[in-house]
Each structure stands twice: as structure tokens, then as C-alpha cells.
Amino acid sequence: MAFRWQEIAATIRQAIASGEYPRGSRLPTEAAFASSFGANRHTVRRAIALLREEGLVTPRQGSGVFVSGQPRAYRLRNRTRFSQTLERQGEDLEMIVLGTEHRQASKNEHQQFEIDTVRPLTVHAALGIRLLDGQPVSLFRSLIPSRLAPDFSSALKQYGSITRALESCGIDDYTRKSTSLTAVAADATQAGHLHCQRGDPLLRSDSVNIIADGTVIEVGTTWFRGDSIRLVID
């Protein structure tokens, strides 16, 4: 026979699964739960502690307890595609393009594309957000050399996918050359886009993708919400 706090945890767990409390939302207070369940606050606190241990909720000091849900597995492999990897898990995916620009590459970007700074290099720079089930899980910046994909910016807005945008520009395949992972704290801008708190943990991924002849086709940086994505390296 289940204890009362286990029953309360099961009810809240089901409410999260059904979408009553969506990812990123704040749960009612202990007092509100205690009133609705006809239980004391200590019992509710123990139920919330169990959900926290399961990774379903995350407390934020001074703000309350928020639904985090189980992190989705995102595999880093030779051909890493965000949409294709998560689509296999039956996720509801969406991309929001925040902006694109066509500009000259910086000295550092020349080096990332392995091009001497003497040679001219213009890039499409895209900034966007990826969402799972309507909740933002990552902020990305993608740089694409314009000589290889001159219509990339317009294609990205049309297709909402870097892979599909490159395909429309004649780049049918590309592979991952390198990935560098770093733990960082969210700044104010990142927190605003990702619906988290300033200082919350993010996982920064810096990647380089190449086409068959070794030419760099994309230099990208993605900031993943630490409570939303679990990176798996094959």
C-alpha cells in the first residue's frame, strides 16, 4: 500500500505527463497543494522531493518549483542532425529563426573555416531557437559560407531546418568533424530565449561540419538547457 506522499507524487507526475503542468511551468506552492490534497505541507514536501530525485521538477531559490521533465537523449555521432535524432523519439519539434545576416567573416571565423584571412570570406549567420513540445531547449548560432550555399538564409526561413536548407542549396550530405563541449552559466539574453534563470547551467556545444572533400560547410554553436537535453556520444 502506497504512502500518502507517494500517492500525491503519482498524481502530480500524471498531471505533468498529461500536460496540465507543461515543461518550464511553475508548480503550485506547497500550501496550495496541501489544501487541494487535504494533506499537511510536510507530506507535500516529501512528494515534491521524490519528483525532484526523478528529475521531473527543479526548485529555484526564491522562485518556486518548476517542471523540467526527463531530459531527451541527443546523440552526437558522425552525422548529427538535431531534427532527425529527436524525430526518432517521437518528439514535437520546432525551430524559430530569430534572425539572419549576410556579412564578412571575422579573423577568428576565417580560422574556424580553415581559410586564410587574405582570402575573402562571406557567411550567412543565423540565430535561432529549437523547441521540443513547445518549450525552448536550445539556442543556436550557425555560420554557413555563402559561396557554397548562396540562398541559405532564405531557405532556412522556408524549411526551418539547417539540413533541409542546405539540401535545397545542393548540399546533400555533411558530416561532423569535431564537437567541443563546455559547461557555462546562462547570461540574461540566453535566459530570456530559453525561459530559464540567469546563471542556470547550460551546455555549450561548438561544432564543425564538413562536406565530402573536407571543406567546412558549417561552424555552429549551440547552448542547450541543462535540464532538457542529455547528450550521448557514440
Name the pTM for this structure: 0.73
> Do 156 and 43 reside in the same domain of the chain?
no
Number of domains in the chain: 2
**DSSP at 111:** H
- Residues 59, 77: one domain? no
H or E element, residue 170: none
pLDDT of residue 12: 92
Residue with cell 535561432: 128
Q: Provide the pLDDT for residue 132.
A: 80
From residue 162, give the alpha-carbon distance in Å to each of 63, 90, 193, 203. Answer: 36, 20, 19, 20
Domain of residue 21 covers 4-67
Strands (E), the chain: 57-60, 64-67, 72-76, 93-104, 122-132, 135-145, 175-185, 201-210, 216-225, 229-233
Averages of pLDDT over runs of 10 residues in the chain (234 residues) are: 87 84 85 94 93 83 78 67 54 86 93 86 96 85 96 94 94 92 94 86 92 95 83 70
Q: Which residue, 14, 43, 67, sits at the end of a domain?
A: 67
Strands 229-233 vs 72-76: parallel, antiparallel or unpaired: parallel
What phi and psi values does residue 101 have, to the nearest 5 degrees? -150, 155
Q: Do 185 and 110 fall within a single domain?
A: yes
Q: According to the model, what pLDDT value does residue 84 have?
A: 54
Q: What is the CATH number of the domain that holds 132?
A: 3.40.1410.10
pLDDT for residue 87: 47
Q: Which of 50, 67, 84 is the last residue of a domain?
A: 67
> What integer pLDDT is reported at residue 55 of this predicted model?
76
**Strand stretches in 37-162, DSSP E:** 57-60, 64-67, 72-76, 93-104, 122-132, 135-145
CA separation for the pair 29, 9 (Å, rounded)? 14
CB distance 149 to 162 below 8 Å: no
